[in-house]
Amino acid sequence: MKKETIKVGLAQLAPVLLDRKAGLKRILEETEKAVALGCDLLVFGEATLPGYPFWLERSNAAAFNDPRQKAIYAHYLDQAVDLQAGHLDPLREKCRKAGLQLVIGIVERAPDRGGHSLYCSLVTIHAGGEIASVHRKVMPTYEERLVWAIGDGHGLRVHPLGKFKFGGLNCWENWLPLLRSSLYAQGEDLHIAVWPGSRHHCEDITRFIAKESRSYVISVGNILLRERISPRMPHYSEIMERCDEQMSDGGSCLAGPDGEWIIEPLSGPVALLTAEISHERVREERQNLDPAGHYSRPDLTRLIVNRSRQSTCHFEEE
């Protein structure tokens, strides 16, 4: 019988920035805590591994052909996550042993696109340890476009967990109604929104999505600290001088399907937040509004979603 109630964990982390191995160690430690607390699902923020490109707005990153930006980008590539190379295998194994579902934001180095461009990707790992989906952010925001490539719709998928179906989006994707609708149409009733951090990013949209979809909504943001920048970063001293002690304050939260807070936005401290949620509350709230069901009019409006993984080349073998 499918579980009516599940326990969710929100990992408001201070990631190790631009050091993949050290960052993964920190993520594994937090995962152990969530397992000990009996979590069925654990969520980490956007770009948790190997970190958000915080230097862009602090270093005139739009300067064309700038040797500093080239050096930092090359280092970012080296520290990014290559899924085919097994960089997440220790995390996958921990999920397999614990029977834990996990969602984490990474900066992905994608061999299927040549291996030298980066994507802000949301990875879902199932309890069996397999990678169930990789959603590449469809449109990086503002200066993110200087280092992150444009993604596609391949990862717009939902996943079962007990009686729930969960899906997720990266940061400002959550403001895009058609992307949200693509998840609602697949039966999503637990929505995951990941952020680089800061309460002002997620406080309003978390409750809005909950009320619009009549779903639970988890928002998880990181705390970006200057002390967590790897000294191996090119031009480290110069960047450090331009960074605040704290560059984002988390703001992780959880709203119920009526839009009310279950966990109010938390600003400041590193924390592993947990809550038990019941699918019955979803069914109760869908009585008066179900945006993909009885309150939809597919005879009038419908959405077409291209979920092909985009590529520059298709090879036909003999």
> Is the confidence at residue 208, as pLDDT, over 90?
yes
Q: Collapse the DSSP code of 6 into the 3-class scheme (helix H, G, I; strand E, B; otherwise coil) and give the result.
A: strand
Of the residues 39, 94, 120, 137, only one is catalytic, namely: 137
Report the pLDDT averaged over residues 183-188: 98
Give percent of the chain above pLDDT 90. Answer: 92
The per-residue b/e assignment along 188-227, b for 16 or more CB within 10 angstroms, e otherwise, is bbbbbbbbbbbbebbbebbbbbbbbbbbbbbbbbbbbbbe
**What H or E segment, with its residue span, contains residue 98?**
helix 89-98
Would 295 be classed as within a structural domain?
Answer: no
**2 has catalytic annotation:** no
Contacts of 307 by beta carbon, 8 Å cutoff, 6+ apart: 153, 154, 156, 157
pLDDT at 266: 97
3-state SS class at 225: strand
Of the chain, the percentage scoring pLDDT greater than 70 comes to 100
pLDDT (tens digit, 9 = 90+) per residue, 66-76?
999 999 999 99
Give whole-number Cα distances, 141 to 147, 220, 232, 276, 301, in Å: 11, 18, 26, 33, 28
Tell me whether residue 299 is in a domain: no
pLDDT at 296: 95
In a domain, 106, yes or no: yes
How many domains does the chain divide into? 1
Is residue 227 a part of any domain in this protein? yes
240 or 194: whose pLDDT is higher?
194
Q: Are 73 and 146 in contact (CB under 8 A)?
A: no
Q: How far is CA 300 from the centre of its chain?
A: 33
Active site residue 46: yes
Residue-wise pLDDT for 225-266, tens only, equals 989 999 999 998 998 889 888 999 999 999 999 999 999 999
Domain annotation covers residue 174: yes
Q: Across all residues in the chain, what is the average pLDDT?
A: 96
Better-scored residue on pLDDT, 268 or 75: 75
Which of 95, 120, 171, 202 is catalytic? The answer is 171
89 band by pLDDT with thresholds 50, 70 and 90: very high
Residue-range definition of the domain harbouring residue 55: 5-285
Residue 293 lies in a domain: no
pLDDT band at 318 (very low <50, low <70, confident <90, very high): confident
Which segments of the chain are extended strands (E)?
A: 5-12, 41-44, 101-109, 118-125, 131-136, 159-161, 164-170, 190-195, 216-221, 250-255, 261-267, 271-278
The confidence band for 198, taking pLDDT boundaries of 50, 70 and 90, is: confident
Identify the burial level of 246 via C-beta atoms within 10 angstroms of its C-beta, where 0-12 means exposed, 13-18 middle and 19 or more buried.
middle
Residue 175 has which token pair? 């403001």
- Indicate whether 294 belongs to any domain: no
**Interior angle at CA 51, CA 246 and CA 26, nearest 5:** 90
25 has catalytic annotation:
no
What band does 1 get if pLDDT is binned at 50, 70 and 90?
Answer: confident
Beta-carbon count within 10 A of 141 CB: 15
Q: Is the pTM of this model over 0.85?
A: yes
The active-site residue, picked from 46, 108, 144, 212, is 46
Q: Read off the pLDDT of each residue in 211-227 and give the average, rounded to a whole number.
A: 96
Q: Which pLDDT score, from 0 to 100, does residue 163 have?
A: 98
CATH code assigned at 54: 3.60.110.10
176 in any annotated domain: yes
